[in-house]
Amino acid sequence: MIPVAEPYLSEHDIALVNEALRSGWISSAGKFLDLFEERWSAYCDMPFGIAVSNGSVALDVAVGLLDLQPGDEVIMPTFTIISPAQSIVRAGGVPVLVDSDPSNLQMDVTQIEGKITGRTKAILVVHIYGHPADMDPILEIARKYGLKIIEDAAEVHGAEYKGKRCGSFGDISTFSFYANKLVTTGEGGMVLVRTPELAERARSLRNLCFQKQQRFLHDELGFNFRLTNVQAAMGVGQIERIEEIVARKRAIAAAYHTLLGGLPTITLQREETWAKNVYWVYALLIEESTGLTAAQLSSRLREHGIETRPFFLGMHQQPAFHRMGLFHGESYPVAERLALQGLYIPSGLTLSDSQITQVADAVKVCLS
Ligand SMILES: Cc1ncc(COP(=O)(O)O)c(C=O)c1O
């Protein structure tokens, strides 16, 4: 099987992990944690980084920093992983959904303003599949209505919007360093913020809200969302070579564009003129005229030894939210089509050029 993604760790990354292990600093303090936070926040052009144990809890912290009151609303795309929506719900808020822009799979910015009410507190932008969302109109709306912006940048390490890195636009941004991400710490995440006050609060939420003066007196309920020094060591080396990692992901995408471009049966992932796509995944949308759904193409590709993953299923289609009374009767046709017709093919950092050809040939055979 050619896996959809396989992590690549260099000898240098492994040496740094060994150094962390040998140092005895194996829990949530140590020089690699400091370095990881400093270097990732600097890379993303944000002043403060707070490392956490995964990208989902990074969103719990980020949404926690909004201080939502019950019923406060946060606008977000329906087409995403469940993490941002569940963070809003768990904080007592209400996710308010918008559909996707079919041309680039990002949240449809033309739908945002119509969703604003007196309860709207923030826009939670999720950059999808390596490509940035169209930030300028989002920033303009946020300014006009006094809304906060959280960027979920889990899938866009190193991606740029008009020459500026994703994760540097919001009041708060979050990242995942899961094994399929461009930079990985196995499991891991980070919250980036602009002010020392938010940084201190995020650190406190990450660490059970222990207090400096009286450790076991708690003013607020927090979490244990700490990352370990050993995990951070794995990430430090990758930040040093992130441009190489981004270049390889873009080269894999360019090879697929050449091999699969022009087929009338599929639409390939594109790059808007204002975007630098890092192609976290390589996504395909299958035309209905083929008579095939993504699930059917996926099982055909599996017979050829090729692993795929389906696209997200929209938040408005989730039974867990329906049972809470959310999104009943809501319909987002673009996201619904993406969920039926979209999948992504192998594009991990260990994929060889001959495997890229093998995958592309198999896609052509399965579509013919
Ligand atoms: C957009 C987005 N947000 C959040 C997450 C959650 O990250 P984690 O798996 O580290 O919890 C992911 C995971 O892939 C993601 O794609």
- DSSP state letter for 328: T
pLDDT, residue 16, reads 98
CA angle 138, 107, 42 (to 5 degrees): 60
* Ligand 1 pocket member 193 (CB < 6 A): no
Q: What is the pLDDT along the chain (368 residues), one digit of tens a residue?
A: 999 999 999 999 999 999 999 999 999 999 999 999 999 999 999 999 999 999 999 999 999 999 999 999 999 999 999 999 999 999 999 999 999 999 999 999 999 999 999 999 999 999 999 999 999 999 999 999 999 999 999 999 999 999 999 999 999 999 999 999 999 999 999 999 999 999 999 999 999 999 999 999 999 999 999 999 999 999 999 999 999 999 999 999 999 999 999 999 999 998 999 999 999 999 999 999 999 999 999 999 999 999 999 999 999 999 999 999 999 999 999 999 999 999 999 999 999 999 999 999 999 999 98
Neighbours of 337 (CB within 10 A): 15
**CATH architecture of the domain with range 242-367:** Alpha-Beta Complex (3.90)
The domain ranges of the chain are: 11-98+107-240, 242-367
pLDDT, residue 60, reads 98
* Ligand 1 pocket member 76 (CB < 6 A): no
Give the number of the atom of ligand 1 that is nearest the alpha carbon of residue 189.
10
Q: DSSP assignment of 250-279, as one string?
A: HHHHHHHHHHHTT-TTEEE----TTEE---
**Residue nearest atom 2 in ligand 1 by C-alpha distance:** 154
* Ligand 1 pocket member 83 (CB < 6 A): yes
* Ligand 1 pocket member 80 (CB < 6 A): yes
Assign domain 11-98+107-240 to a CATH class. alpha beta
pLDDT, residue 336, reads 98
Among 63, 79, 81, 184, which is best to mutate for testing ligand 1, by the most ligand atoms less than 8 A from CB? 81
pLDDT, residue 141, reads 98
pLDDT, residue 314, reads 98
* Ligand 1 pocket member 245 (CB < 6 A): no
Spacing, Cα 352 to ligand 1 middle (Å): 26
Q: Residue 299 and residue 292: Cα distance in Å, rounded?
A: 11
pLDDT, residue 112, reads 98
